[in-house]
């Protein structure tokens, strides 16, 4: 349970709402969603390697996106370097925060680097006030070659046959099923999202987000890792990048009403399918199943 009063607890954010982009791949366009009856009330796709702490910085999209990558890689990745590459794409290191789409583009375009490659002075620290130094890629050693091996193929916006709450848990369950078949970590896929984080959520008892409406708040990105059954009600389980001192040891539980009312800018997930292949399948209105996806990708690679 969180300790302290509303005024005592301050956490960092940094998420800015994504602008609608019709070029986004929609998950339901080629992936078949499970029926709601198929989805168990409680499961975890994968725990994080550890819950990190962004301090009072605006690096949350970098933390959330590297969370989604490092569970696949089995190695802790640097949100600081990711933030610098996100800012390189944005073109203005001084600009506050970032949107999720740009963060995921950085994973696909550049990859990521392990935290072990990062100089200590470029690891975020509130006391050092080194945010601006981190954000400028010109202050970094050349790590691009080390990042390539961690590049991702593509990302999809979670759009499907249900409301957002059920589309998210269906997406998570698809990932869980895929992984359980072959135990390949690359199939572990979290959901990355953002919301106007309410101050009352930070001190929610046992991390259970209340259903009542709250005004105000600040932009914050985070990930969903699965679902949890609480008092016979299904909640989406979120992990933040604000240490394990808040919520339920860093975990928060979102009810359907809050997801559908407050996550109006949507949610995203990584997918192991190349953009050219995804675009072709969507254009042809073909579905895809993981059982023959690898063969299909190889086939189109040979054609291109």
The CATH number that applies at residue 237 is 3.90.70.10
Q: Which of 80, 164, 68 is nearest to 117 (CA)?
A: 80
Q: How far apart are CA 86 and CA 104, in angstroms?
A: 9
Closest by alpha carbon to 193, among 168, 161, 166? 168
Collapsing DSSP to helix, strand or coil, 227 comes out as strand
What whole-number distance in Å separates Cα of residue 247 and Cα of residue 200? 11
What confidence score (pLDDT) does residue 189 get? 97
Domain membership flag for residue 67: yes
With beta carbons less than 8 A apart as the criterion, state whether 236 and 168 touch: yes
Average pLDDT over residues 17-26: 81
Question: Is the pLDDT confidence value at 237 over 70?
Answer: yes
Q: Is residue 4 situated within a structural domain?
A: no
Mean pLDDT of 197-216: 95
Residue 51 lies in a domain: yes
The answer to whether position 61 is within a domain reads: yes
Q: Does 304 score more than 90 pLDDT? A: no
Per-residue pLDDT tens over the stretch 191-206: 999 999 999 999 999 9
Residue 245 lies in a domain: yes
Note down the domain range covering 112.
Answer: 25-272
What is the tens place of the pLDDT at every residue in 259-284?
A: 999 998 889 999 988 787 777 767 76
155-181 confidence digits (pLDDT tens): 999 999 999 999 999 999 999 999 999
Q: Is residue 17 part of a domain?
A: no
Whose CA is closest to 123, among 93, 88, 81, 86? Answer: 81
Q: Look up the pTM and report it.
A: 0.90
Average pLDDT value over all residues in the chain: 90
243 belongs to a structural domain = yes
Q: Is residue 268 part of a domain?
A: yes
pLDDT in tens, 112-156: 999 999 999 999 999 999 999 999 999 999 999 999 999 999 999
pLDDT for 195 equals: 96
Q: Domain total for the chain?
A: 1
């Amino acid at each position: 349970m969180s300790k302290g009063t509303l005024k005592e607890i301050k956490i960092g954010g940094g998420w800015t709402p994504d602008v609608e982009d019709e070029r986004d791949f929609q998950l339901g366009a080629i992936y078949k969603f499970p029926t709601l009856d198929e989805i168990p009330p409680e499961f975890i796709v994968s725990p994080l390697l550890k819950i990190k702490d962004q301090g009072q910085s605006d690096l949350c999209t970098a933390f959330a996106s590297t969370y989604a990558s490092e569970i696949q890689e089995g190695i802790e990745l640097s949100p600081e370097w990711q933030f610098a590459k996100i800012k390189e794409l944005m073109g203005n290191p001084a600009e506050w925060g970032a949107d999720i789409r740009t963060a995921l583009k950085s994973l696909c375009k550049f990859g990521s680097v392990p935290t072990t490659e990062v100089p200590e002075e470029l690891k975020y620290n509130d006391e050092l006030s080194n945010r601006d130094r981190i954000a400028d890629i010109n202050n970094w050693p050349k790590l691009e070659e080390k990042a390539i091996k961690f590049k991702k193929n593509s990302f999809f916006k979670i759009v499907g046959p249900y409301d957002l709450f059920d589309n998210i848990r269906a997406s998570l369950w698809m990932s869980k099923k895929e992984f359980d078949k072959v135990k390949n970590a690359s199939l572990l896929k979290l959901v990355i999202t953002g919301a106007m984080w309410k101050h009352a959520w930070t001190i929610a008892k046992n991390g259970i987000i209340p259903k009542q409406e709250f005004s105000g708040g600040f932009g914050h990105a985070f990930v969903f890792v699965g679902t949890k059954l609480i008092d016979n009600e299904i909640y989406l389980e979120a992990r933040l990048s604000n240490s394990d001192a808040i919520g339920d040891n860093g975990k928060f539980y979102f009810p359907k009403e809050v997801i559908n009312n407050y996550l109006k800018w949507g949610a995203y997930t990584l997918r192991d399918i190349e953009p050219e292949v995804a675009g072709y399948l969507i254009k042809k209105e073909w579905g895809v199943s993981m059982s023959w996806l690898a063969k299909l990708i190889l086939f189109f690679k040979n054609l291109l």
